[in-house]
Amino acid sequence: MSSHREAPEISKDPVADSTDVYAFVSPDKADTVTLIANYVPLQAPDGGPNFYEFGSEVLYEIKIRHDAAGRSEISYQFRFTSVLENPNTFLYNDGPIQIKNGRLDTSAWNRRQFFSVTRVEPNGKSTVLASDLACPPCNIGPLSTPDYAASSGAPDPLTQAFIYELPSGETVFAGQRAEGFYVDLGTVFDLGNLRPFAADHNTFGIMPVLTNMPGVNSTSAVNVHSIAIQVPITSLTIDGSKPTNYKDSKSVLGIYTSASRQTVRMIDGSGKDQFTGPFKQVSRMGNPLFNELLVPISKKDLWNALPPESDSSFAAGVANPELGQLLPVLFTPDGGSTLFPNLAALDKQIAAGTKKRDDLLAILLTGLPDGVAGAFQNNTGTTQADLLRLNVAIPPTTSGPSNLGLVGGDPAGFPNGRRVFDDVAVIELRAVAGLTYALVDTSYTVDGAAKAVYDVTNDPKDVTAAGSVQYLTSFPYLGTPHSGYFTPETTPKAVPPSAP
Amino acid sequence: MEEVSRRMFVKRASLGAVAVGALAATPLAWAETKSHASSPEPDLSGISGPVVAHVRDLGKGLVDVFVGTRLVTVTDRELAKSLTRIAAV
């Protein structure tokens, strides 16, 4: 997945597992950047009675760098506190959590979370921007959380009640959302047996050749926990400016998220663990799928613990991606020829050491210089670091955006930051398949399959993942969390008729 | 038996933290002084929550002391030996 359970150790610590980071110039507030960091992956919406929450002992951070090495870095830190209102019930809530007369009645809500927001400046100065902000409840069902309502526009009333505008200019939200990352997981991990290309897949003689089928969004009914913050661009650039020229080096921000835990945990037998010592990073994320796809399994947890400026030590996996070597083999139908002959030839040259994937090295580790992909750049120099690089001088695409982002002719999308609907699985799959190699080697002929391969949706203008995801048009952009009551989605929807 | 050892461990670790406070304040004096008793008694009122010591390298006498959100590393062969002796009980 993007970065869900991507490393052996962090897969056992879901509250600290960075799953996705989004960074984009807000389409409805173009003088701001929206940053979203997701944690706690693959939540079954009906997973009670202890519904999902952030880790009270985890330090969550969204970091914005002005250079790849991190010499100048702003950090937004988020800390959570859990409160038990009634210790004598086994329930998350023992009545409706409902808006009445314009106010949220929380009297029946037992297990709650509150959070603080701290901003750390490049000079180390730390300012608490807000504290004791409440997180919304999880979406239990129409009796418990009746004000959650499916929406593809503005946030539902319950979500709206937990969006805070801070005196310092930021808007912030922290709580459960519908998963926004979409991918056909079942096929990806079954040796890349993508349903739309099943007839061309190698079956290794195990089963009959399949017929092509529509893709499936495996994450269409799971939730995630999001920390979302919308920040004026002038509060993020190194000099407080709002760049308008994409060539301006100050227009590029390098973004990543992290989760850290204190060094020592003591299980003292009381049921309440104790923690002490300095915080150590246990998870991070910049570009989607970086750790997942390009770092060997033996080093994934090490990668999570290191700062981005250490990523030159992982560049070999980018210069010669394992998936790039596998694709020609996997997509060789029984008795037929590979769908990726040119990639196979390139792979041989890479294996021989005569070529390397300079396209991927640039996209993921240094940013693209101006001119390589038209009038665009998000380059941060020669230091290799996995950062989501956002050029804030490029305005949002408000009409007909492409879910393929830059490779779809839409410079407001990935790898220029990342929007919630960007089809990053397909973009990176096609890039690894050779689509972007032609940017750095004009003599290279891209395989037809590298332009066509997909898993869920084949429509670049589709911003719904083939109708499986409802994003919002305004903050926090990720959709209303899926309801526990209506899980699985085939649950009879007899009452109430208007429920999600 | 295990519980007694743990208490002693934490008690000794607290001593380690005290020693480090002196080290930070007067490094030269500490380098010349092996006895905890000869260091000035620091203010312990700011210490709350668990104090945990980790003998990182017995041979070099490296002891990491975790307190609050801080890590203090002490180089003290006697302290490292003392803690390890407790572990051997």
Residue A268 has what pLDDT? 85
Chain A residues lying within 8 Å of B66, measured CB to CB:
262-264, 276-278
In this predicted structure, the answer to whether residue B23 has a pLDDT above a threshold of 90 is no
Residue A120 has what pLDDT? 98
Q: In what order do the strands lie in the sheet with B62-67?
A: B51-57, B62-67, B70-75
**How does the average pLDDT of chain B come out, rounded?**
69
Q: Do B50 and A266 touch (CB under 8 A)?
A: yes
Residue B34 has what pLDDT? 38
Q: Determine the residue among B20, B69, B70 to mutate to test chain A binding: the one whose Cβ has the most chain A Cβ atoms within 10 Å.
A: B69
Residue A498: pLDDT band with limits 50, 70, 90: low
Residue A496: pLDDT band with limits 50, 70, 90: low
pLDDT over 90, % of chain B: 44
Chain B residues lying within 8 Å of A274, measured CB to CB:
49-50
CB A228 within 8 Å of CB A476: yes
Intra-chain end-to-end CA distance of chain B, in Å: 9
Q: Do A276 and B66 touch (CB under 8 A)?
A: yes
ipTM value for the complex: 0.83
pLDDT single digits (tens) A97-146: 999 999 999 999 999 999 999 999 999 999 999 999 999 999 999 999 99
Residue B48 has what pLDDT? 86
In this predicted structure, the answer to whether residue B13 has a pLDDT above a threshold of 80 is no
Q: Determine the residue among B6, B63, B71 to mutate to test chain A binding: the one whose Cβ has the most chain A Cβ atoms within 10 Å.
A: B71
CB A190 within 8 Å of CB A203: no
Average pLDDT of the residues in A22-49: 97
In this predicted structure, the answer to whether residue B87 has a pLDDT above a threshold of 60 is yes
Residue B28: pLDDT band with limits 50, 70, 90: very low
Average pLDDT of the residues in A27-53: 97
pLDDT single digits (tens) A322-376: 999 999 999 998 878 999 999 999 999 999 999 999 999 999 999 999 999 999 9
In this predicted structure, the answer to whether residue B5 has a pLDDT above a threshold of 70 is no
Residue A497 has what pLDDT? 52
For chain B, say whether A88 makes contact (Cβ under 8 Å): no
CB A406 within 8 Å of CB A399: no
In this predicted structure, the answer to whether residue A495 has a pLDDT above a threshold of 90 is no
Q: Do A276 and B52 touch (CB under 8 A)?
A: yes
Residue B38 has what pLDDT? 56
Sole residue written with tokens 């005569």? A354
For residues A82 and A343, give the distance between their C-alpha atoms in angstroms, rounded to a whole number.
Answer: 51
Chain A residues lying within 8 Å of B54, measured CB to CB:
264
Query: Can you tell me whether residue A223 is helix, strand or coil?
Result: strand
For chain B, say whether A266 makes contact (Cβ under 8 Å): yes
pLDDT single digits (tens) A201-249: 999 989 888 899 999 999 999 999 999 999 999 999 999 999 999 999 9
Residue B42 has what pLDDT? 82
Chain A residues lying within 8 Å of B51, measured CB to CB:
276
CB A300 within 8 Å of CB A8: yes
Residue A262 has what pLDDT? 97
Residue B74: pLDDT band with limits 50, 70, 90: very high
Spatial CB neighbours of A354, under 8 Å, sequence gap ≥ 6: none
Chain B residues lying within 8 Å of A276, measured CB to CB:
49-52, 66-69
Chain B residues lying within 8 Å of A58, measured CB to CB:
none
Q: Do A278 and B67 touch (CB under 8 A)?
A: no
Residue A175 has what pLDDT? 98
pTM of the model: 0.91
Q: Determine the residue among A118, A276, A280 to mutate to test chain B binding: the one whose Cβ has the most chain B Cβ atoms within 10 Å.
A: A276
Q: Do B51 and A279 touch (CB under 8 A)?
A: no
Q: Which residue has the higher pLDDT, B22 or A180?
A: A180
Nearest residue to A176 via CA among A292, A97, A75:
A97
Q: Which residue has the higher pLDDT, B24 or A315?
A: A315
Spatial CB neighbours of A57, under 8 Å, sequence gap ≥ 6: A261, A262, A273, A275
Q: Do B69 and A266 touch (CB under 8 A)?
A: no
Q: Determine the residue among B65, B66, B72 to mutate to test chain A binding: the one whose Cβ has the most chain A Cβ atoms within 10 Å.
A: B66
Q: How many CB atoms lie within 10 A of CB A130?
A: 16
For residues A53 and A268, give the distance between their C-alpha atoms in angstroms, rounded to a whole number.
Answer: 23
Contact map slice: A 235-254 vs B, CB within 8 A: none
Residue B39 has what pLDDT? 66
Average pLDDT of the residues in A164-179: 98
For chain B, say whether A269 makes contact (Cβ under 8 Å): no
Q: Provide the number of CB pairs (under 8 Å) joining chain A to chain B.
A: 31
pLDDT single digits (tens) A55-86: 999 999 999 999 999 999 999 999 999 999 99
In this predicted structure, the answer to whether residue B16 has a pLDDT above a threshold of 60 is no
